[in-house]
Amino acid sequence: MPIYFQRNEILRSIPHGSEALLIEEAWLTPKNNILAILRCKGTESFFQGHYPNNPILPGVVLVEAFGQAGALLCSSIKSFKEHKGYLAAINKVKFRKPVYPPSIVYLEVHVKQLRSKMAILKCYAYDAEEVPVASGNLWVGFKPEK
């Protein structure tokens, strides 16, 4: 049975503030994947300057959403419970299809490789028709919380 996270539970589990939170709800699956939702209404400030007459979701916003979903996933890993994760590298990110508002982007993140102080996450983004929007790998380093 998947574990469901609402906005407040996500905020308690990851090191992001509410002003920067992009994912609104998520599910931790029995296979230890995170499925998350990014809603693009078109009213977000980053759309104002990113092609004003033809707004497109900036790729960096998709990567940040991957990072937030990944942080939620890593917060569920027992060996990293008392640690804080930091983005260490972004690798092989591909943007396959533009995202125009209003739309919903479905994110899927799973652990590709786990090391003692690092996790490599494989990330995918899909639109409502399940067409791939983006994919890539994130490397997350962990340090004990102070």
Give catalytic residue positions.
50
The end-to-end CA distance of the chain, in Å, is: 33
Cα(24)–Cα(6) distance, integer angstroms: 7
- Tokens read off for 44: 């977000």
Q: Where are the beta strands (DSSP E) in 19-144?
A: 23-28, 34-40, 83-95, 103-114, 118-126, 132-144
- Tokens read off for 106: 């479905």
